[in-house]
Every structure is written in C-alpha cells, then in structure tokens.
C-alpha cells in the first residue's frame, strides 16, 4: 500500500507539523479556551435572573472548560510520548483511554449545544411565550447520562487492550490503526455509532435548526410591523439579539465539528485501508487539522459572544476589571454624549 517511492509527504515534514501543532498551536488554543470559558462561566453565574437559556449556557461553558482542560492534558501526554519519554518515564498513560474521556466531555458539549439551539428555535417561532425545554435538574441528569454512556461504551475495548496489550506506537494515528485492526468488530461498531450519533447527526440536526431559525427570523420581521405594544417590541428586539448570538455560535460549531467527525468515521470504517493506512500523511495531516478545529470549537465561544452581542462584551469587561456595571454605564454615557454632539453639529 505504501512505499518510499510513492512518498510525496515526507515523514520529516509530518514530524515538523506535529511538533508545531502539539507544542505550539494546541497549547495556545487550550490556554485561551480555559481563560475564555472560565470568564464566560463567571459572567453567567453572576446573573441575578437566570433563564433556562442562561442555565444551559452556564452548563455549556462548564462543559467546554472541562473539555479544554482534558484536551490540554491529552496534548501534554502526547508531547511526553513524542519527545520526553525518557525524561518522564512514569507518565505512561493509555492515550486511548484519554481520547475516550475527551470524547465523552465533547459529547456533553455537543448535547447541550443541540438543546440550546432547539430552545432558541422554539423562541423564534413563539417569541412572546416562555419556553423551558430543559430545566436545571433535567440538564444535570442529561449531562451525567451522556458522560457515562459515552465513557462506558469503550469499557470492553479497554478490557481487550489490557489483556492483549497495546501494540501501537506513541502516535495517535498509528494507535488508531492498530486498535481498529486488532479489535475491529467491536471498535468499529461502537466507534461508528458514537461518532455518527454524537457527531454527524448532531451537526445535521443543528444545520436544520439553523435554517429554521433563519426562516423564523424573516417571518418575525414581517409580523413585528403589526406590534403596537412598546414592551413587546423591546422584548422581541432582546430575543433577536440573543438569537443572533446563539445562531453564530451554532454555525461555528457546524464549521468546526463536521470535518472532524467525517474524518474519524472514515478512519473507523476504512477496513481495507484505502484511505487510512500507515504512511498516508495527507490523511494524517487532515486528522490533525480537523482535531485542531474541534478543540477550537470548545475554546472560542466567548469570542463569538463578545463579537456578536454588545451586552456580553460589556459584561466581560465588567467581570475582567471588577467594575460591577461601571464599564457599561460609561459606555452608555459616551454613546449618549456622542449622540448629543452629533445632533448639535
């Protein structure tokens, strides 16, 4: 399947790419994500009146924080396996188990994202009604169940590896190839199911909900022209800002997660090694790139909130500088002053 004569992507270039990603790009993403998710969690936790959407966003920030920290530890172990194995001989941790833990945490984030987008879709089509698709208690039960279902699904695989031994090298790509070859039946079954259910189907569902939300926004724009109550107009405008923020967040999720899930399904389903074989550095680079996108998805939600909603940007500034609303007041005062000056000019 592979020979040095057919080689167009040299192992040296692949090693340099892995060094740049694992030692440079991914640690920076994890640090930014840990800071941003902690800041987002603090902002939503300080809210006095918490709606169901606020509780869900609070849980999403916590899930993303745990996912980023878990990915950071996984990256640390990968760096140790690749470059510091002799210097750190006691950190011999099964990377397959760490990848399953990270996948379980990522599944929680995906599930909460689906619930948030579904609730926002209901709010768009019925803007003047209270919608509680998932209460606080139900959200906790859902989070715990998703985590343990995805984590315990690999228990048989871990038992087989503990009995037969992990014959793979320290490379995640080669580890996956050896694992699928040695335990192809069970690994292929639960791997495809989990990545398909919590990956591709989730992305397709969110894509459909995004289309419905966009259609609902256009419909509501026409209907709001008939509204005469000032309170209803103000409430609709507030809902529209929240919808715009969450719609951008869900689109970012689709862009970042769909390539990663497609590549992993190809890796698991390719039993004849047409694409996923040892030496196909192009596919290995694609897996590495899509893995970076998946980590970015768990790290950049706070940037999406800040760039799409002025209210969230002011809350972030208040939390960072402990202003307790003073930054927002200065913002409004400066805006009013500019409006007055412009009027007089």
With CA atoms as reference, report the closest residue to 60 among 335, 252, 260: 252
pTM: 0.77
- Residue (of 312, 314, 343, 344) closest to 330 by Cα position: 314
Higher pLDDT, 191 or 95: 95
Average pLDDT, the chain: 74
Q: Would you tell me how many other CB atoms lie within 10 Å of the CB of residue 222?
A: 8
**pLDDT tens, residue by residue, 214-232:** 888 777 665 555 566 666 6
Domain range summary for the chain, segments of one domain joined by +: 8-308
- pLDDT tens-digit map of 97-152: 677 677 777 878 888 888 888 888 888 877 666 556 666 676 666 767 776 666 66
Q: Which of 169, 165, 167, 166 is nearest to 15 (CA)?
A: 169
8-308 CATH: 1.20.1070.10
Q: Of 192, 205, 61, 212, give the one whose Cα is nearest residue 122.
A: 212
pLDDT of residue 333: 44
Query: How large is the C-alpha radius of gyration of the chain?
Result: 23
């Amino acid at each position: 399947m592979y020979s040095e004569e057919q080689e167009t992507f040299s192992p040296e270039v692949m090693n340099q790419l892995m060094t740049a990603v694992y030692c440079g790009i991914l640690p920076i993403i994890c640090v930014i994500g840990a800071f941003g998710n902690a800041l987002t969690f603090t902002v939503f936790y300080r809210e006095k009146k918490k709606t169901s959407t606020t509780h869900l966003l609070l849980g999403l920030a916590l899930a993303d924080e745990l996912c980023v920290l878990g990915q950071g530890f996984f990256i640390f172990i990968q760096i140790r396996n690749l470059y510091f194995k002799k210097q750190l001989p006691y950190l011999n941790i099964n990377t397959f188990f760490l990848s399953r833990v990270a996948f379980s945490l990522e599944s929680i984030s995906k599930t909460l994202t689906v619930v948030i987008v579904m609730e926002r879709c209901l709010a768009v089509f019925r803007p003047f009604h209270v919608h509680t698709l998932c209460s606080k208690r139900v959200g906790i039960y859902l989070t715990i169940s998703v985590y343990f279902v995805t984590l315990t699904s690999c228990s048989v695989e871990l038992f087989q590896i503990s009995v037969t031994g992990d014959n793979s090298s320290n490379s995640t790509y080669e580890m996956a190839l050896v694992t699928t070859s040695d335990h192809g039946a069970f690994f292929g079954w639960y791997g495809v199911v989990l990545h398909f259910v919590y990956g591709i189907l989730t992305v397709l569902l969110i894509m459909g909900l995004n289309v419905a939300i966009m259609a609902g926004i256009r419909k509501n724009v026409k209907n709001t022209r008939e509204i005469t109550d000032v309170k209803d107009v103000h409430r609709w405008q507030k809902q529209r800002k929240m919808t715009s923020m969450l719609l951008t967040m869900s689109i970012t999720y689709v862009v970042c997660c769909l390539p990663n899930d497609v590549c992993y399904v190809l890796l698991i389903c390719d039993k004849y090694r047409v694409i996923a074989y040892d030496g196909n550095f192009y596919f290995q680079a694609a897996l590495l790139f899509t893995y970076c996108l998946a980590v970015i998805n768990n790290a950049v939600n706070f940037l999406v909130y800040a760039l799409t909603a002025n209210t969230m940007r002011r809350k972030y500034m208040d939390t960072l500088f402990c202003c307790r609303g003073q930054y927002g007041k200065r913002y409004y005062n400066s805006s009013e002053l500019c409006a007055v000056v412009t009027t007089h000019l």
